[in-house]
Amino acid sequence: MLTFFAKRIGWSVFTVLLATVLVFSAIQSLPGDAASQILGQNATPSAVATMRQQLGLDDPPVSRFVSWLGNALQGNFGNSLVSGGSVGAEVGSALVNTSLLAGITIVIGVLLSLVLGLVAGLTRDRWPDISISTLALVGMSVPEFVVATVLVLLFSIYIPLFPAVVIAGQNASVAEILPSVWLPAGALICVLAAYIIRMMRTSVIDVMDSEFVRTAILKGNSTPRIVFKHILPSAMLPTLNVIAMNVAWLIGGVVVVESIFNYPGIGTLMIRSVQTRDLPAILLITVMSALTYVVCNLLADFAAFLLNPRLRYPRSAK
Amino acid sequence: MTPETITSNGRRRADEDIDVVQLRNLGISYRTGKREVAVLKGITLTLEKGRILGLVGESGSGKSTLASALLGSLRTGSFVSTGTASVSGQDVFALRAKELRRFRISEVAMVPQNAGSALTPTMKIHEQIAEALHSLKGNKTAQRSRAEELLRLVRLPNPAQALDRYPHQFSGGQQQRIGIAVALAANPTLLVLDEPTTGLDVVTQAAILDLLSGLQGSLGMSMVMVSHDLGVIEKMCTDVAVLRRGEIVEAGATREVLANPKHPYTRGLVASVPRIDVPGIPPSMDQDAIDAGEDWVPDQEVYRRIAPQGAVPVLSVESLSIDYRRKHIPGTGATVQDVSFTVNAGEVVALVGESGSGKSSIANAIAGLQKTAGGRITLADGGAGGGELAKTVTGRPKNLRQAIQLIFQNADTSLNPRQSVHTAIQRPINLFSVKNASVPQALADVDLPASYAQRLPGQLSGGQRQRVGIARAVAAAPSLVLADEVVSALDVSVQSSILRLMDELSREKSLGFLFITHDLAVVRAIADRVVVLYLGRVVEEGTVEEIFASISHPYSRLLLDSVIELGDDHDAKRKAVKDEIPAAPPEVGCPFASRCPLVRDVCHTVAPPTIAVSATHNIKCHADVAELTGVSAEVLEGTRTC
């Protein structure tokens, strides 16, 4: 069992490292370097050269990567080329905001979609299933910016319950942001739920067709017991990975929704950093989102491990 | 031809209370589109308390539908079209959901065909048994001890530890025992068993059936047992109902019906079962004659295959070993070790053994699909050029790949459902540029009309699909065909015709067949020579007569003794045998030592020497020939007629 965990964690670390190398090299190959970026188009070549030296850009890429990684491991991710402040702090506060948004979305969205998927699977081809599946299909096919716009139209213009955009800036406190979380969260839940509902439904239907569920029914078990003891654990297994991918996508890729609502999260920061070519910020954000994907998948593996006795007790260990 | 009213035991009684099962004109249908298809038609039967009813029939006869109907369960889309089903005095299809639950809790339990997939994989064994212990609800300790008692009752090794394990941690036979324990937990009036031993090895099957008859006797349960195996039905059941296409064609007391079948279909069924004591391929059933309502009498003649003269080897396997272990585990040996045999042109060589004996691994190694750890596999020059076979199929030249072809157990999953028969057969002809070969010719070789080329696999019956599988293999003009359990998924009436086809092909095309099976009766019918495997080691080899004669390896003897056949003396007491195969072969000594009745100290340490009984008959054993001369002399050919 320990080797299972150790192996998975080892691979995860390797994956993150690999992603970091890839992101670092990708940024190196972007046209224009940081020095000319900072000094602007009218800078003299000698000034650029001096700047390059100051920033250590003349060093070979490998040594720059190693020193970046060394600093990063100590929590120093470099300074923003735009504001001059610590990138770590900037990204950190954006990450907190995004985590708030993502957290609310995950808790509500995952629970909601698991329940809806389960109901849809259990009532296969009857009206609850048909309505849930149709809604999920709509949620999947309509892009999130449309969902977001419709939500704004409904809940902040027709019925002014929530603010349409976030006015608070990057450094706003949680209390300031909380009221404006709900609309972006709603938009994200719609998209996220669609995938999980469909996966959960399929997986519940598969499990219901299995012989062990038939046997459980023929044993005279009550419906709740059949659903929660016999169907749910097996049906959750394939769904876990879909949840993991979606959760990771939430944290790494909420760009569109965040920018519609001007939500001061990681997506908004990413867009701004790309526009201003703030390379250290881009680097850190990309690495963070790779890290999120890896961690989410790792968590999904561990959850699968807990749900699936075949993983916990391999047959050979008799 | 359809009998009007039949009771399962053919008697009339005034007292209806003692009937556990009473079916009156029961019909079950399902809807596809606007059409209604009848699965069961006018089923009328009764079962007295304490008796065992066997439901026999081939695939599509509706026997499993009938079995689940006894629990008030229908497949989605199915409905009761006529009649009633009453079990323990309750009209099962009139029960409301809550009553139906109570009925399933207290009156009737089911042992499913494959306990491996019928036990919930995420629940511990004791939870699954406790669920059925409704009288002890809420009392955890009482549930646990009762669960342990039940596991002891079904003779599961280490019942106390088993409680906290999960289903996947048990072997197939053990899972089936657990499935029976779960069914018994509810203390049912009626136990319904759907092919309870079909997926199991002969030795395990014999042990499970003995267990069931013992339990039935001591608990006084009534049972309904579904099986396609007439031997099993004869051994277990007091009454029998023979089903064909949803109707009961014949019913009555088992011994009477099977010894003296009245309906042409039952006669055909009885005649087409291959037997160990009757060498040769039994006649096939003439379904058309039965359909036409003719009073068809099966041809009593079995077809005796004649072994080919002269030995021109096609394939020779020398000291083959296969090892699945990633690292050495002390006390265990390689999965397959030191296996040598040859297959001659025109010869059918059977590779026999229980599951886990390595027979499929060996076939895969010959096909180049399995990495070997040692040994040589050589293909003789059959015109296409021979030579030692590379370890994997990608390393073999085209002509060697052409020379070895495979036929699979499940023709329905081995044919692409979206490709026509023509495409499937044309492919090897094109790939290997086979001369003088065509799809119509290949179809004619397997006795299928040329018009079938345009069909899709879904439009064929099971037997026809297997014929296409054979046509596909033979179209490549191979010299060796690997046939892995090719008839075990087929109904007996189709089995014979496929065996006859293989016999024809082997003679006409001088094809060598390596025939892999666990079914000794089929071996007796088709094989010329037999190699008996146990835990990946050859324990005995010889001609088919020699293997079925009186001198045998103790393992071969065990296999032969475990076979349950029609006409056996089923009341004879069986010797207690250990029916569990060790998980891995031992590192040293004889692989069979842990189960052998003749075991001695030397067996655990020294590999057994080869006893050459004749030029072709070899047995690997430490015992001497006198001890190996068994008591089962009645299996000698010709001593009994059927």
Least confident among A71-85, B21-35, B292-306, B377-391: B377-391
**Which residue among B101, B106, B117 places its CB closest to the CB of A212?**
B117
Query: Which residue from B minimizes the CA distance to A308?
Result: B122
Complex ipTM over 0.85: no
> Pairing between strand B108-111 and B90-91?
unpaired
pLDDT in tens, A103-153: 899 899 999 999 999 999 999 889 999 999 999 988 888 888 888 889 888
Q: What is the mean pLDDT of residues B288-296?
A: 78
Q: Calculate mean pLDDT across residues B381-409.
A: 78
Q: Is the pLDDT score of B640 beyond 70?
A: no
Q: What is the CA radius of gyration of chain B?
A: 26
**Which chain B residues are within 8 Å of A229, Cβ to Cβ?**
120, 123, 127
Can you tell me the distance from the alpha carbon of B597 to that of B604, in angstroms, rounded to the nearest whole number? 13
Q: What is the pLDDT of residue A197?
A: 93
Range list of H helices, B77-157: 97-106, 115-118, 125-130, 140-153
Contact A211 B132 (CB under 8 A): no
**Percent of chain B surpassing pLDDT 90:** 42
Residues in chain B closer than 8 A to A225 (CB atoms) = 131
Residue B632 has pLDDT above 60, yes or no: no
Interface of A with B in 132-151 (CB under 8 A): none
Q: Is the pLDDT of residue B310 over 80?
A: no
The pLDDT value given to residue A134: 92
CA proximity to B486, closest of B527, B512, B517: B517
Mean per-residue pLDDT over chain B, rounded = 86
Provide the pLDDT for residue B635: 38
- Please report the DSSP string for B448-504 in residue order: --GGGGG--GGGS-HHHHHHHHHHHHHHT--SEEEEESTTTTS-HHHHHHHHHHHHH
Closest in A214, A219, A310 to B131, CB measured: A219
Interchain CB distance below 8 Å, A218 and B123: no
User: What is the phi/psi pair of residue B108, to 5°?
Assistant: -140, 140
Distance from CA of B28 to the nearest CA of A (A): 19
Q: In angstroms, rounded to a whole number, what is the distance separating the alpha carbons of residues B433 and B601? A: 58
pLDDT in tens, A52-102: 777 777 778 788 888 888 888 888 888 877 777 888 888 888 888 888 888
User: Which of A212, A220, A308 is closest, CB to CB, to B104?
Assistant: A220
Residues of A in contact with B103 (CB under 8 A): 220
Which of chain B's residues have a Cβ under 8 Å away from the Cβ of A214? 73, 112, 118
CA-based R_g, chain A, Å: 24
Strands B108-111 and B313-322: unpaired
First-to-last alpha carbon distance for chain A, in angstroms, is: 14
CB pairs under 8 A between A and B: 79
- Give the pLDDT of residue B85: 93
B26 forms beta bridges with B43
Q: With contact defined as beta carbons under 8 Å apart, do A34 and A57 qualify?
A: yes
At residue B427, what are phi and psi to the nearest 5 degrees?
-55, -55
Whether the CB of A123 is below 8 Å from some CB of chain B: the reply is no
Residue B72, min C-alpha distance to chain A (Å): 9
Residues 259..318 of A with a Cβ closer than 8 Å to B: which? 307-310, 313, 315-316, 318
Across the range B543-560, mean pLDDT stands at 90
- Answer yes or no: do B186 and A216 touch at CB < 8 A: no
pLDDT (0 to 100) of residue B123? 93
Q: Are B514 and B485 in contact (CB under 8 A)?
A: no
- Quick check: A269 pLDDT over 70? yes
Q: Does B120 touch chain A (CB under 8 A)?
A: yes
pLDDT value for A32: 64
State the pLDDT at residue B420: 92
β-sheet bridge partners, residue B223: B52, B191
In chain B, what residues touch A313 (CB-CB under 8 Å)?
165-166, 168-169
B interface test, pick of A212, A221, A227 with most B CB neighbours within 10 Å: A212
Residue of A nearest to B112 (CA): A215
**Of B621, B632, B611, nearest in space to B549 by CA:** B632
Sheet strand arrangement including B387-388: B336-344, B313-322, B374-379, B387-388
How far is A13 from chain B, CA to nearest CA, in Å? 26
Confirm if B625 and B554 have CB atoms less than 8 A apart: no
Residues contacting A128, CB < 8 A, separation 6+:
A119, A120
**Crossing angle between the packed helical segments A279-307 and A87-122, to the nearest 10 degrees:** 40
B64–chain A Cβ distance below 8 A for any pair: no
Confirm or reject contact between A211 and chain B (CB < 8 A). Answer: yes
Distance CA A95, CA A85 (A): 16
For B612-625, give the DSSP string. Answer: ESSSS-EEE-SS-H
pLDDT, tens digit, for every residue of A185-198? 888 888 888 889 99
**Contact list, B123 vs chain A (CB under 8 Å):** 229-230
pLDDT at B127: 92
CA distance B112 to chain A (A): 8
Taking only the tens place, the pLDDT of each residue in B15-45 is 456 789 999 999 999 888 888 889 999 999 9
Nearest beta carbon to residue B122 from set A218, A222, A307: A307
pLDDT over 80 at B590, yes or no: yes
pLDDT of residue B528: 93
A255 within 8 A of A81, measured Cβ to Cβ: no
- Inter-chain residue contact B166 with A313, CB threshold 8 Å: yes
Of B71, B110, B122, Cβ closest to residue A233: B122
Tell me which chain B residues have a C-beta less than 8 angstroms from the C-beta of A308. 121-122
- Which of B103, B120, B121 is facing A310, going by the closest CB pair? B121
Q: Is B583 on the interface with A (CB under 8 A)?
A: yes
Instruction: Using pLDDT thresholds of 50, 70 and 90, give the confidence band for residue B371.
Output: confident
Say if residue B10's pLDDT is above 50.
Answer: no
- Does B413 contact chain A (CB < 8 Å)? no
**CA A113 to centroid of chain Cα atoms:** 17
SS3 B583: coil
pTM over 0.95: no
**A210 near B CB under 8 A:** yes
Amino acid letter, B444 = A
Yes or no, beta carbons of B112 and A215 under 8 Å apart:
yes
CA distance, residue A223 to nearest chain B CA (Å): 10
Element (H, E) at A83: none
Task: Please check whether residue A14 touches B, CB under 8 A.
Answer: no
Q: Is A221 on the interface with B (CB under 8 A)?
A: yes
